[in-house]
A = this chain, B = another copy of it.
Amino acid sequence: MKQLTVGIDIGGTNTKFGIVNREGNVLYQGNIKTTEFAEFSDFFDAMATAIREGFNGLPQDSKVIGIGVGAANGNYYTGNIEHATNLRWKGVLPLAKMFTEEFDVPCILTNDANAAAVGEMIYGNARSMKDFVVITLGTGLGSGFVCGGVLLNGHHGIAGELGHTSVNPTGRYCNCGKRGCLETYVSATGIKRTVYKLLADHLELSELRGISFDNLNTKMITDAAHRGDVCANAAFEYTGRILGMKLAETVVHTDPEAIFLFGGLSQSRELIFKPTIRHMEANLMPVFRGKVKVLPSALENQTAPILGASSLVWDYFSKSAQPVGVN
């Protein structure tokens, strides 16, 4: 009997899901519009129907053993999506319980960055590692910690909110209500804000002067940097400096073997990795220097969020003890 898992990534716009085998091959893939459903129960029913459609085409000798879900504000302990700011449905949504009742298999929910961390451990570049951090660089900055081979959830189930460490207490306004949070500098949005700050402060010509804030994206900044645009290159240097300084702080907390950069901004490769590593090393406590790797994720493709979510199930079954958070 071939064991399979379902991985679901609930995003603000799209919800992607896939049926995945232990080797990380996605055997079936689907997608529904998250925004299309005014009621959470309608969204859930549509998901359940779509997943059952996927089951129809599976080999006879296979069996789905669990469902993993990555979602912003997903709480591992409760199995609930709690007060998500990027979804239409407010309050507490008992997603894991509903999936377990619907499909009679365990459902493991966590936030998207934690799912990425477990995905890296099960399928990715952290397969031989027990202590590492994954930083997801998307619209915001998320993070997932694995310590001693175990995903760090924390007491309230919300560990790893590195996007909300402080760069400057009187700095940029953040969606969380504070000012100067790391994600206002280091994220797809953060680097846009930095470009605009640089264009405001300096006189250099830049091809980015012709692009509105709403239209500007990481790819444009990356392409401009490759063409030698001074402002675009300065924006990457600035972003990497701040990320490197903050990673030096994270290292002295949990002493990881490696830090993986995942998602949009990390795909600018050298442009972001070089200044990040240089400034991390310069700011590290000397005993850690040269010891902590900063690496790209191995899951950089369209199916990464699905793999990350599905890996939660393999991680669950690999544990000898019953973990918390499974409904």
Contacts and interface: CB of A to CB of B under 8 A. Distances in A.
Contact of A164 (B145, B154, B252): B252
Contact of A152 (B147, B164, B286): B147
Contacts of A31: none
A77 to B, nearest CB: 11
Interface stretch (A190-198, A242-250, A299-307): A242-250
Nearest to A178: B285
A171 interface: no
Nearest to A132: B155
A217 interface: no
B255 A253 contact: no
Contacts of A286: 176-178
A252 B165 contact: yes
Kindly report how many copies of this chain are found in the complex they form together.
2
A150 B153 contact: no
A166 B255 contact: no
B177 A248 contact: no
A278 to B, nearest CB: 14
A171 B312 CA distance: 43
B255 A157 contact: yes
A287 interface: yes
Nearest to A174: B285
Contacts of A88: none
A283 interface: yes
Contacts of A162: 252-253
A196 to B, nearest CB: 25
Contacts of A129: 155
B253 A250 contact: yes
B148 A152 contact: yes
B159 A248 contact: no
B249 A159 contact: no
Contact of A254 (B131, B157, B159, B178): B159
14 contacts: A154-B255, A155-B257, A157-B255, A158-B287, A158-B288, A159-B253, A161-B255, A161-B288, A162-B252, A164-B285, A166-B245, A176-B287, A177-B286, A178-B286
Interface of A: 129-132, 145, 147-148, 150, 152-162, 164-166, 169, 176-178, 181, 245, 248-250, 252-257, 283, 285-288, 291
Q: Which 6 A-B pairs have the closest CB atoms?
A: A154-B255, A159-B255, A155-B257, A164-B285, A131-B155, A161-B252
